[in-house]
Amino acid sequence: MAQNNLAEAVPLTQEPQQRPNIEQPQRQAQPRVSPQRHPSSHKLPVSKFEKCLLTACGLVLAVMMVCVVSSKIALTNAQHNLQSINNQITTVQNHNTNAQQQINELQSRSRLDKIAKKQGLSLENARIRNVNK
């Protein structure tokens, strides 16, 4: 049988039973109502160990909260740095693309032919030789 930790008020001494009188009518047994006591009528003092344990747990909790906030700030700063570096990479890539486009325009065959004609040079296919290494 499971115990539910509820105590009942049981009188230590038995009440003397009265003999029924013929003259008195018999009373019906009424259930006896005992005043209920609150189980926490007095508070137990907190021991030194419990105080130390609560203080230590509070300090650990406070340190953990500070660590969470500081790590969140560090994460935000790292994301900001990453974003600025990505912006710099994009800028450099754009400059490289523009420079490569200018190089291709300056090396175009039509441009070289125009410059050669201005200088009085001509292109003879019979004199062109391809050299491979």
- Please give the pLDDT value at position 116: 87
Task: Determine, yes or no, domain membership for 56.
Answer: yes
Q: Does residue 109 sit within a domain?
A: yes
pLDDT at 40 over 60: no
Q: Is residue 84 part of a domain?
A: yes
Q: Which residues of 50-83 are buried (b: 16+ CB within 10 A; e: fewer)?
A: eeeeeeeeeeeeeeeeeeeeeeeeeeeeeeeeee
User: Does a structural domain hold residue 103?
Assistant: yes
Split at pLDDT 50, 70, 90, the class of 11 is low
35 domain residue, yes or no:
no
Provide the whole-model pTM.
0.48
Q: Identify whether 88 is part of a domain.
A: yes
Is residue 19 assigned to a domain?
no
More confident residue, 36 or 122: 122
What's the whole-number mean pLDDT along residues 20-48? Answer: 66
Is residue 13 one of the residues assigned to a domain? no
Closest by alpha carbon to 93, among 85, 105, 81? 85
Check whether 28 has a pLDDT greater than 90: no
Range of the domain at 79: 49-119
Q: How many domains does the chain have?
A: 1
